[in-house]
Homo-oligomer: A and B are copies of this chain.
Amino acid sequence: MNSQIIQPPLVAWANGAFSHAPVIRKTTRIQDLTAVFADGQAWRSCDPQLPVYTVEMLETPAGEGELWTGVTHLNPGKVGNEFFMTRGHFHARREQGEVYFGLRGQGLLLLQDEHGKARLETVCAGSVHIIPGFTAHRLINTGSEILSALAVWPTIAGHDYAALQGGFALRVQEENQQICVCEVQNG
């Protein structure tokens, strides 16, 4: 009977690395992040192939009620004076939430409701972020090492990037070696 005991996937809390399981991996590069950063000239001067973030997900059956588990690894860096960040999105199924857990690095989670009201949560090792439904979310790396965050979200949630064409209401930049949060018209 003991031979039927399954060794499940493992995640390393220190760096978010998965083992003992196949993973789906997607890397997003500077060239993929059109109109994301405020300084278009600085963005065009970056190496287009430069990786900004990689998402690794466990292969899981999808369907109503099932959950994805994945880790986002967001590199340190800036475009102009703006910190590297993920594109950010609403879920296509707007009511679907998500939970993030900070694993390493220092950053911010930018959350924004459908009325454009934004807030920021500190991301660090062990931080827990309950993202409710109807809330767009974006990770921002304000530190000097990789920011890694574990996420669990419904497989039916999907992504809706178009709904955020107006952008987020806050931008996070470095000014005089300080982290500065700016309210903007089109973020």
Contact = CB atoms under 8 A, between A and B. Distances in A.
A52 to B, nearest CB: 22
Given A11-B128, A133-B63, A5 B121 contact: yes
Copies of this chain in its oligomeric complex: 2
B132 A8 contact: no
A32 to B, nearest CB: 28
A170 B154 CA distance: 30
A57 to B, nearest CB: 11
A181 B63 CA distance: 32
B7 A65 contact: no
26 contacts: A1-B180, A1-B182, A2-B179, A4-B120, A5-B181, A6-B121, A7-B121, A7-B122, A8-B122, A8-B128, A8-B129, A9-B130, A11-B126, A12-B126, A13-B13, A13-B125, A18-B128, A21-B128, A58-B128, A60-B130, A64-B133, A65-B96, A65-B154, A67-B97, A99-B152, A152-B152
